[in-house]
Each structure stands twice: as C-alpha cells, then as structure tokens.
C-alpha cells in the first residue's frame, strides 16, 4: 500500500497480528473498505474465505459460507478496519477494481456520480450495482431506490430489515431480491412510492 501513511501501515500490521491474518489479507480488506466509504466492502482473498461482502450494519457474506469461525474473525477485522478508516488522516482512495465474484459491486459514497437517487432520501446505508442496475438502501425512511437503465424507481421497504441484495440472471427488476428478516423477497413485490 504505497499511499498508506506509516501510522496506518503500522495499525494494519497490528490488526493482522491481532486477528491472525496476513498483512496482505488485511490490506485487501482495508482497500475494499476505503472504496466502500468505510461502511461496506466487496473483497476477494483466500484467507478471508474467498469472495465476500461486508456492511457495517452487521451483514457479512464470505465464499466459505459454513465456516462460522472464519466469518466471525472476518467480521471482527472488518469492523476494526472500518474504525481505522474513520479515525485515520485523509488519504486518497484507491481505484475500484471490478470484483471477480460476479456479485453486486459496491460504490463509494465519495464518488459524486454515485448520488443518482432522489436528494430528499439523503445518504444511503448501503449502495451498489452491477451492469445497468444500481441500488441504494435508506433504512431510516424505509426506502429502496433502484436505477435500471437510467430510470430510478423508489420502493417502500415497509420496515423490513434488509441484510443483502442478490441479482439472478433475469431482465429488469424480476431478478432482484433482498434478504430480509422475513426471508428473501423480490424487489418487484414491494410497493412503489
């Protein structure tokens, strides 16, 4: 990490030692957290269970999905790295690389082009996208904004606790699902605002 300050590099090494991961794995996750604005990450590293996604609200998915011990360690590391991100001096964010997992790609909140949703919704708790589809989730106002082929549609999430998004090989909204406290729900079944 050539753009990391000496103190940040030292903190990353300390976290690698504390959590039992290599410095390379910790740097990979930290770059992903930087790209996600400190509150989310999409990453891929064999020590971290392969490809994965993390959101500060507690959502974590890793490729080694049945390894609960590893999932707990990665979640703890991600939270510590998020804390480091918010407490470090400002540094230039790394360039975002396309994920190899084929999953949703998270956007950085610092990207001015990312604010495609209606301004009255404020800042999303999570956002991401792939190909011609993007989403932004606003749990405080029970709203989910979807941009498909440039058209923005806002849905009422009706108090659902959303923990993740998935897109199946289908055209339009028909293939977009949210993982909720009530199970997996098709976005197209939510009421439009």
On the 0-12 / 13-18 / 19+ scale of CB atoms within 10 A, 164 is: middle
| Nearest Cα residue to 44 out of 28, 56, 20 | 28
pLDDT of residue 101: 34
Average pLDDT, 10 consecutive residues per value, the chain (193 residues): 69 94 94 83 91 83 89 91 77 36 38 68 77 79 87 90 69 73 83 91
Residue 106, in any domain of the structure: no
Pair (83, 120) in one structural domain: no
Owner of token pair 């957290």:
33
Q: Which domain holds residue 155?
A: 115-189
CA-angle at 49, arms to 43 and 55, nearest 5°: 45
Residue 47, in any domain of the structure: yes
pLDDT of residue 77: 94
pLDDT of residue 96: 35
Residue 179, in any domain of the structure: yes
pLDDT of residue 30: 93
Pair (75, 25) in one structural domain: yes
pLDDT of residue 113: 44
pLDDT of residue 170: 58
Residue 148, in any domain of the structure: yes
Looking at 69, 87, 105, the residue that finishes a domain is 87
The count of domains in the chain is 2
pLDDT of residue 109: 37
Residue 25, in any domain of the structure: yes
Q: What's the rounded Cα separation, in Å, for the pair 78 and 75? A: 5
pLDDT of residue 89: 56
């Amino acid at each position: 990490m050539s753009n990391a300050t000496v103190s940040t590099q030292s903190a990353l090494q300390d976290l690698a030692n504390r959590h039992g991961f290599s410095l390379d794995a910790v740097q990979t996750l930290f770059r992903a957290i930087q790209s996600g604005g400190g509150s989310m990450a999409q990453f891929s590293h064999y020590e971290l269970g392969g490809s994965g996604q993390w959101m500060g609200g507690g959502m974590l998915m890793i490729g080694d999905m049945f390894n609960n011990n590893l999932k707990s360690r990665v979640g703890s590391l991600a939270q510590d790295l998020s804390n480091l991100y918010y407490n470090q001096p400002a540094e230039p964010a790394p360039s975002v690389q396309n994920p190899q997992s084929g999953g949703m790609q998270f956007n950085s909140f610092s990207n001015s082009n990312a604010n495609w949703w209606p301004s009255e919704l404020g800042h999303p708790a999570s956002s991401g996208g792939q190909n011609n589809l993007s989403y932004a989730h606003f749990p405080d106002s029970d709203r989910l904004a979807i941009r498909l082929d440039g058209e923005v549609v806002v849905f009422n999430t009706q108090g659902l606790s959303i923990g993740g998004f998935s897109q199946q090989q289908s055209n339009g909204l028909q293939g977009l699902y949210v993982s909720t406290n009530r199970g997996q729900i098709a976005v197209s079944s939510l009421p439009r605002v």
